Amino acid sequence: MSITVRSFAKINLGLCIGAPRRDGFHDLRTVYQTIAAHDVIRVRIAKGSGIEIRCEDDRVPADESNTCYRVAERTVALLRAKGKVLIEIEKRLPVQGGLGGASSNAVATLLALERALQKHIPGAEKLRIAAEVGSDLPLFLIGGTMLGVGRGEEVYPLPDLSPTACVLATPDVGVSTPEAFSDWDRSMARRVSSPAQPRQNRSKLTTSSHSARMNEFSRRLSSWLSGLPGKTGEPVTGVPAGGRGRAESPLLDLVRTGIENDFEQVVFPKHPELREVKRALVRCGAFYASLSGSGSALYGLFRSRKAAEMAAARLRKQGIAAEVTATITRQQYRTRIFD
């Protein structure tokens, strides 16, 4: 039996990078939001043994370095499953785009494999496998609007924002996430290494400026959350992706807190064309535009689908690859995965 799954992308609504940790990762705070743009994953169990990955895009590895492979390996071991696992990846999302494509593909593989093997994996086990394979995987077990903390793998569902029209701009640039984190560390170290600071104070200063920034980000998020209507389980009304209506405050309020993506500070100087794409999104009417994750994809949020379509058309005329999509709620995420 072949199982087909949609593997949705995410964007980051703000991302604050904290201090480097002993395990080589960085603490961070972010709001993840799933969007309708997706890859397609097909999983089938055949005769034989092992794991085989097929993808027409040769930038996607077919070996153990692929996150889908690593998830499948762990799932097969956990369930003591027999047979050969065939994973087909239909790539539509950019590779190394900051949209969580590879992480989402891996979670889609996990969910498809569970169905293909007709076995149930408890939620906690799925979360464990996901977090082991990568920081960005657990969010795809939840979907909708989420708070991400720790190294990004600790995820908490937030009140869902209503579907909002979104333009994804996908410049043909690959950004390495580990490299972007190292660039960030260097830029933070430079900020505190002014000649006025004695050398022995610098690491203390770096730590305190990291925590001050993280605290400020958390303060903005909690003031936003405390202003939201008290109902849970229903999306808080936002800008409808379909067009009319003005009930737009929760998402607008969030972006108006001034949340930003720290990666822009190190990725834009290296790739100035990405800063230009962000400016173009704003010029085309986005009420908020940002790099997603470490990039290179950027997104703009719009008041209506029509406005987003006009903006995408204008961007394409300027030679920028752009497509219209929309944010999706947790419920939409869950129902559309297997649709």
Touching ligand C5P, residues 13-42 (CB under 6 A): 24-26, 28
SS3 of 217-273: HHHHHHHHHHCCCCCCCCCECCCCCCCCCCCCHHHHHHHHCCCCECCHHHHHHHCHH
String of contacts with ligand C5P for each residue 178-207, x by CB under 6 A: x--x--------------------------
- The answer to whether 274 and 298 have CB atoms below 8 angstroms apart is yes
String of contacts with ligand C5P for each residue 162-181, x by CB under 6 A: ---------------xx--x
In the complex, least distance from residue 23 CB atom to ligand C5P, rounded to whole angstroms: 9
Nearest to 72 by CA among 42, 101, 40: 42
Residue count of the chain: 339
CB atoms within 10 A of CB 185: 16
Q: Does the active-site annotation cover 58?
A: no
In the complex, least distance from residue 25 CB atom to ligand C5P, rounded to whole angstroms: 4
Report the distance separating Cα 216 and Cα 252, nearest Å. Answer: 19
CA distances from 90 to 38, 71, 94, 331 (A): 9, 18, 11, 24
Span interacting with ligand C5P, options 79-87, 130-138, 217-225, 312-320, rule CB under 6 A: 130-138
String of contacts with ligand C5P for each residue 100-119, x by CB under 6 A: --------------------
Q: Which of 91, 119, 126, 136 is catalytic?
A: 136
Q: Which position among 14, 101, 152, 250 is part of the footprint of ligand C5P (CB under 6 A)?
A: 152
What single DSSP character describes residue 54?
E
In the complex, least distance from residue 137 CB atom to ligand C5P, rounded to whole angstroms: 8
Report the distance separating Cα 146 and Cα 133, nearest Å. Answer: 19
Nearer to ligand C5P, 183 or 248 (CB): 183
In the complex, least distance from residue 201 CB atom to ligand C5P, rounded to whole angstroms: 25
Q: Which position among 10, 70, 126, 151 is part of the footprint of ligand C5P (CB under 6 A)?
A: 151
In the complex, least distance from residue 308 CB atom to ligand C5P, rounded to whole angstroms: 29
- The answer to whether 129 and 74 have CB atoms below 8 angstroms apart is yes
- Residues in contact with ligand C5P, total (CB under 6 A)? 12
Q: Determine whether 128 is exposed, middle or buried from the number of CB atoms within 10 Å of its CB (0-12, 13-18, 19+).
A: middle
What single DSSP character describes residue 201?
G
What single DSSP character describes residue 161?
B
Report the distance separating Cα 202 and Cα 192, nearest Å. Answer: 6
How many CA atoms does the CB half-sphere of 30 hold within 13 Å? 33
Nearer to ligand C5P, 181 or 333 (CB): 181
- Residue 299 makes contact with ligand C5P by CB under 6 A: no
Q: Which position among 97, 101, 134, 293 is part of the footprint of ligand C5P (CB under 6 A)?
A: 134
Q: Does the active-site annotation cover 270?
A: no
Q: Which residues pair with 188 in a beta bridge?
A: none
Residues recognised as catalytic: 10, 136
Q: Given the rule CB under 6 A, which residues bind ligand C5P?
A: 24-26, 28, 134-136, 151-152, 177-178, 181
